[in-house]
Amino acid sequence: MTVLASYLPLVPLLAGIATGLFGWRRSTALAAVVGSAGVTTGGVILGTIVVDRGAVIAAGGLVRVDALSAYLILIIGVASLISSAYAVGYIDTELRLGHTTPQGARLYGLLVQIFIACMLIAVSTDNIGVMWVAVEATTIATAFLVGHRRTRAAVEASWKYVVIASVGVSIAFLGIVLLYFASRHASVGAATLRWSQLLAMAGKLDPAVTRLAAGAVIIGFGTKAGLAPFHTWLPDAHSQAPAPVSALMSGVLLSVSFYVLARHKVVIDAVLGPAYMRNMLIAVGLLSLGVAASLLIAQRDYKRLLAYSSIEHMGLVAFGTAIGSPLAVAGALYHMLGHAIAKSVAFCASGEILFDSGTTRIADVRGLLKRRPALGTVFGLALLALLGIPPFSLFASEVAILRAAGAAHLELVMVLAAALLLVAFVSILQHGRQMLLGEPTGGHTDRRTPAIALTTLAIALGASAVLGVTLGPLDRLLTAASRVVAP
Amino acid sequence: MTDSALSQLLGLAIGTALVCAYVVLWRSRLISIVRAIAVQGAAVAVVALTLGLHEHSVEPVAAAVGVFALKAVIIPMLLARWIRQSEELREVDPLINIPASLLAGGLLTLFVYATARQVANLGSDSASRAVPAAIAIVMLGLLVMTIRRKAVTQVAGFLLLENGIALVAFLTTSGLPLLIELGGALDLLLVVLVLHVLAGRMVSAFGATDLNQLQELRD
Amino acid sequence: MTVPAAVGALIQVTLVIAVAPILTGLMRATRAKLEGRAGPSVVQPWRDIRKLLHKERIKPEYSGWVFLLAPRVLLASGLMVVVLVPLITTATALGGSGDLFAVVYLVLLGTVFLVLAGLDPGTAFGGMGASRAITVAALAEPAFLLAIFALSVRAGSSSLATIVDSVLAEPRSLASPGSLLALAAVSVVVLAESGRLPVDNPSTHLELTMIHESMVLEYAGPDLAVVELASQVRLTIFLGLIANLFAPWGIAVTTHPADLAIGTGVVVAKLALLGVVIATFEVFVAKMRLFRVPELLTAAFILAFLAITMSFFLT
């Protein structure tokens, strides 16, 4: 099993290299789908193993896959499966419409798979330094994906994204340096960047240095995770990237960055006690909810709408993690999975709407259900899933988080969070209603969404609904994963 | 190497690095800014080299060679070429004028000295005591990124930040494991290259790399 | 004040008065040589002064007593500084009174009178030059004080003789970042205060660019000679200060005649060297646009400021 844990990132990488060598074709696009399916399968296998036998450690301690890692691998696999299955038709259409060149499509295929590989490395390593390198590498891999269209807006978005994300991640590096420093002074020859070793020696780490490190880490990885007030790059980047990339960035990149933050939280909590990180995370969580809610109200662009919804959901995940009880953390992790599925579907559907209407303005899209019933249904259901309507899984996770907040005597914060969620709920519902219902207006292309794309999105929504009713075998993995963060 | 010689050499190198940060803040000619960045990169390498020789360990020395190659030679050369190609030679319209930004930088340095003592207090050796200067460089990098509006000066600010963090790493821990250093260096190089390409696209889309023009995306 | 110390002070004053015009002449000659001109002899400034002294005294119609007093104050304050600073020997006349702050304010006193003299006749150029000069002084003075403070921190005293002695006792302290930054700051300030490039061009009479020259435009005859000599003395003091604060080797620490002789020779050599260096530097730089001068002086201020922070934190 050590082989699987160590070499899983190679799977998407090989698919990417295939596209790099042979260009964007049906076969290489399908290779990417198969690769993503492979990653998902790998996640399932690793999940079953680590639940029974504990963490898999390989490559001299560099690789360590525990329940939390396996769970994240699963999320990455599922979201990239949705994204890559949708991308098959998406890139073909882009090529046909002249939005991109064969060269651009080739680069796209390569970079997306490198991006996925970097995320896999970030979640399956034990070394926080390697985590950092991998997170920084995702910025580089996605830079050109965000700027894929090369329009003025795309250039602006990618510039802001690279600059803000790189600065943020550099500050996270400062935090990692400080943790290394603390470990070096803990005892002779103890200098380490391995997460498991840092956790084991937490009692000996200097609290003052750790506190500084905690601040740097929250700023740094919080930036990549899209938490307010470091979120400013997110709406631009997510709205300008091609739909399958938005799906991946929103669905998993944010979660992976938050995963890295959560790993650090475990060590920092062991040194400083839970209060410090709890207060910080509750603050950024609530701020994210507030920013998202306020900017959702008068949103005019449906891709930005989805982007702000991501900030909202990441805020909720941060809030759940901050509470720190096993129920809350399980709720947060469960929320990550539900959000990854629903947001991937929503972004992919938004890509189709963009092809259909040629604009991202909400006001210019009317009567989607009447004109494009299948697409309209998928988009509408994805929005409902994002809103946390039962039976979709986000309902269950939101309830779990809010209940845990009540149990932890954070009633005031809970009420505040619930109120902000309600504002976001009403705004998204209102905007969604405008887009979906009513009479169609304006001239539109006669493009039909490929069956494979619609089927994938429908299956994903179905999975989300099933997950909302029962976790099934996933239950044990989720419990084990939440135990990593909330021991 | 004796302790006093070590602290003297460290002091000189870090002083140079700090002054270079101010030179970046002070000059408006882009090529002078790039030169300051190169000198600062060399100063960082000297710090690593000094610590390596002092502790008789190979890793910092190897890191020093790498830092010198990357931060004092490769990246500055890239930036210099970039400036020659882009025909943008000056930072014309900073957000606040140069004397004011210099004074702001001075205040920022004072603030860092006043607040960063907790890290410095953990070690009493000369290296640990120089940490506030390194953190000041990080803050100056952020300041440059905030007030300067050209693509090259943004990258310069980012490099200041990176150099400051590298200095903190060397001073507090004599450098991270070589694997991480290598990954970090590669990431840095790639970020600079990516920004270069994006700046090229910015020129073809907007006609210049003036960040004040990036106003299309907002709510 | 002991007798030998008085003798030392006297030698310093005599030496500076004798050497100052020659130093200016040397700088002009160097510059001419580098620009490929024949140029005047190094003693030309002395000849100019001698010529001016023999001329009739002329005073602008509407000028008052300030106009007549200013050259004398300028020269007197300069010579006062010469008594205070250790140029040839650290055991100078006023011993412990050779305080850096006293030096700075004596120099400033001279500047203020020069500015008043520029304003007094009520001409356009004089007023313009005065306003520019006082702007430069106002920006340079804080930087100068800070840089000096940085040096005092290291020696634990603001007495010039003590600072020089401490450097002699521990030459390695010169290579500290604090000292180097202070040197850089002092150099910029000195260039600004003595009206050299890139702040002011000493050899121009273009109304748009000049600072110092426009203030003294109305002087003629013996008054002009005094003003010229005083400016040359000031330049000599500044260069001598730089030389002895940052490279004090060779200065006499006693008042023994042999030491004094060596000290005299060494200081003349240092002055000549610095003069040549500055003249060479001036060949390669252009005068800065006036509104960029504040940037330069703020940079000097920041350098001095950093010098202090580093003296406190980095050692």
Q: Where are the domains of chain C?
A: 3-314
Q: Is B199 inside any structural domain? A: yes
Q: Judge whether B32 and B148 are in contact, CB under 8 Å.
A: no
Who contacts B74 (Cβ-Cβ below 8 Å, separation ≥6)? B189
- Quickly tell me which residue has 């260039």 as its tokens: C191
Q: Which one of B138, B143, B171, B214 makes the best mutation probe of the A interface by having the most chain A beta carbons within 10 Å?
A: B214
The amino acid at B126: S
Percent of chain A scored above 70 by pLDDT?
99
Beta bridge partners of C99: C159
The amino acid at A90: Y
Judged against a pLDDT cut of 70, whether residue C209 lies above it is answered with no
For residue A112, what are the domain limits?
2-485
> Mean pLDDT, chain A, as a whole number?
92
Q: Is B169 inside any structural domain? A: yes
* Physical contact, B and C (3 or more Cβ pairs within 8 A): yes
Q: Is B218 inside any structural domain? A: no
B172 touches A at CB < 8 Å: yes
C chain contacts of residue B4, beta-carbon cutoff 8 Å = 172
Q: Is B23 inside any structural domain? A: yes
Higher-pLDDT residue of B132 and A305 is A305
CB contact under 8 A, C313 and B103: no
Q: Which one of C298, C303, C311, C312 makes the best mutation probe of the B interface by having the most chain B beta carbons within 10 Å?
A: C298
Distance separating alpha carbons of residues A188 and A184, to the nearest angstrom? 7
Question: Residue C302's Cα: distance from chain center in Å?
Answer: 21
pLDDT the model gives residue A359:
87
Q: Judge whether A146 and A161 are in contact, CB under 8 Å.
A: yes
Asked if the interface predicted TM-score (ipTM) of this complex is over 0.85, the answer is yes
DSSP of A187-202: STT----BHHHHHHTG
B158 touches A at CB < 8 Å: yes
B chain contacts of residue C305, beta-carbon cutoff 8 Å = 106
Q: Is B72 inside any structural domain? A: yes
Asked if residue A229 has a cis previous peptide bond (ω within 30° of 0), the answer is yes
CB contact under 8 A, B22 and C181: no
B chain contacts of residue C295, beta-carbon cutoff 8 Å = 26, 98-99, 102
What confidence tens digit (pLDDT) does each residue in C101-121 have?
A: 888 889 899 999 999 988 888
B chain contacts of residue A300, beta-carbon cutoff 8 Å = 219
First to last CA, chain C: 37
Who contacts A25 (Cβ-Cβ below 8 Å, separation ≥6)? none
Phi, psi angles (nearest 5°) of residue A325: -75, 155
Tokens at B139, concatenated: 């803050």
Distance separating alpha carbons of residues B69 and B22, to the nearest angstrom? 23
Judged against a pLDDT cut of 90, whether residue A115 lies above it is answered with yes
Phi, psi angles (nearest 5°) of residue A57: -120, 135
DSSP of A121-137: HHHHBSBHHHHHHHHHH
Cβ neighbours, 10 Å, residue C184: 18
What confidence tens digit (pLDDT) does each residue in A389-417 have?
A: 988 999 999 999 999 999 998 889 999 99
Q: Is B219 inside any structural domain? A: no
Q: Judge whether A354 and A310 are in contact, CB under 8 Å.
A: no
B187 touches A at CB < 8 Å: yes
CB contact under 8 A, B15 and C178: yes
| Confidence band for A476, pLDDT divided at 50, 70 and 90 | very high
C chain contacts of residue B22, beta-carbon cutoff 8 Å = 299, 302-303, 306
Rounded mean pLDDT, B169-198: 89
pLDDT the model gives residue B174:
81
What confidence tens digit (pLDDT) does each residue in C27-36 have?
A: 999 989 998 8
Q: Judge whether A72 and A46 are in contact, CB under 8 Å.
A: no
Nearest CB partner across the interface for C177, out of B15, B22, B109? B15
pLDDT the model gives residue B71:
94
For residue B167, what are the domain limits?
3-213
pLDDT the model gives residue A123:
96
C chain contacts of residue B130, beta-carbon cutoff 8 Å = 313-314
Q: Which one of B75, B170, B186, B187 makes the best mutation probe of the A interface by having the most chain A beta carbons within 10 Å?
A: B187
Q: Judge whether B159 and B142 are in contact, CB under 8 Å.
A: no
Rounded mean pLDDT, A68-90: 94
pLDDT the model gives residue A131:
95
B chain contacts of residue A171, beta-carbon cutoff 8 Å = 165
Q: Quote the minimal CA–CA distance from C167 to chain B in Å.
A: 15
B chain contacts of residue C309, beta-carbon cutoff 8 Å = 109-110, 113
B160 touches A at CB < 8 Å: no
Coil/strand/helix, residue A230: coil
- Quickly tell me which residue has 């960055």 as its tokens: A257
> Mean pLDDT, chain B, as a whole number?
87
What confidence tens digit (pLDDT) does each residue in C145-180 have?
A: 888 888 888 778 888 888 888 888 887 777 777 888
Q: Is B30 inside any structural domain? A: yes
Rounded mean pLDDT, B75-89: 87
Task: Count the domains in chain B.
Answer: 1
Coil/strand/helix, residue A98: coil
> Mean pLDDT, chain C, as a whole number?
84
Asked if residue C60 has a cis previous peptide bond (ω within 30° of 0), the answer is no
pLDDT the model gives residue A269:
94
Nearest CB partner across the interface for B195, out of A133, A162, A174? A162
Burial class from Cβ neighbours inside 10 Å (0-12, 13-18, 19+) for residue A27 reads exposed
Who contacts B62 (Cβ-Cβ below 8 Å, separation ≥6)? B52, B178
pLDDT the model gives residue C200:
77
pLDDT the model gives residue C195:
77
C65 touches B at CB < 8 Å: no
Closest CA to B119 of C312, A128, A211, A167: A211
Tokens at A198, concatenated: 């840092």
What confidence tens digit (pLDDT) does each residue in B100-138 have?
A: 888 899 899 888 887 776 665 666 677 777 888 898 999
What confidence tens digit (pLDDT) does each residue in A210-264 have?
A: 998 999 999 999 999 999 899 999 999 999 999 999 999 999 999 999 999 999 9
* Physical contact, C and A (3 or more Cβ pairs within 8 A): no
Closest CA to C241 of C134, C108, C142, C104: C104
Closest CA to A159 of A137, A139, A136, A143: A143
Task: Count the domains in chain A.
Answer: 1
